[in-house]
Amino acid sequence: MVGTTGSGDATIAGLLSGLLRGLTAQEALMAAVGVGACNVEAADALSGLLSWEDTLARIESGWEHLPLHVEAWGWNEAAPGLWEKRRS
């Protein structure tokens, strides 16, 4: 990590970009974390950002990360990318 300036904004932008591109919630979350991780590799807010394609390629190349598990209290994933509120 070199700097954290803009890392939160970059992560949110990655999430929104993934959702707008039709990724599942889990795929969009992984992309968001990838964008944020690239961002902290530079001291300023923009130099660490890669193109969308390069970011996904970096993630898919076996980039070391913890397993992704989405747990949303009160919600169930009814189908990939489709969440519904749990019934009591």
pLDDT of residue 68: 64
User: Into how many domains does the chain fold?
Assistant: 1
Domain coverage including residue 75 = 7-85
CA 47 remoteness from chain centre: 18
Show pLDDT as tens, one digit a residue, over the chain (88 residues): 888 899 999 999 999 999 999 998 889 999 999 999 999 999 998 999 999 999 999 999 988 777 766 677 888 878 876 778 877 6
4 with 43: CB under 8 angstroms?
Answer: no
- Does residue 25 form part of some domain? yes
- Does residue 64 form part of some domain? yes
- Does residue 2 form part of some domain? no
- Does residue 1 form part of some domain? no
> Residue 9 belongs to what H/E stretch?
helix 7-20
pLDDT of residue 69: 67
11 closest CA partner among 43, 19, 81: 19
Rounded Cα distance, 83 and 59, in Å: 25
pLDDT of residue 31: 94
For the question of whether the overall pTM of this predicted structure is more than 0.75, the answer is no
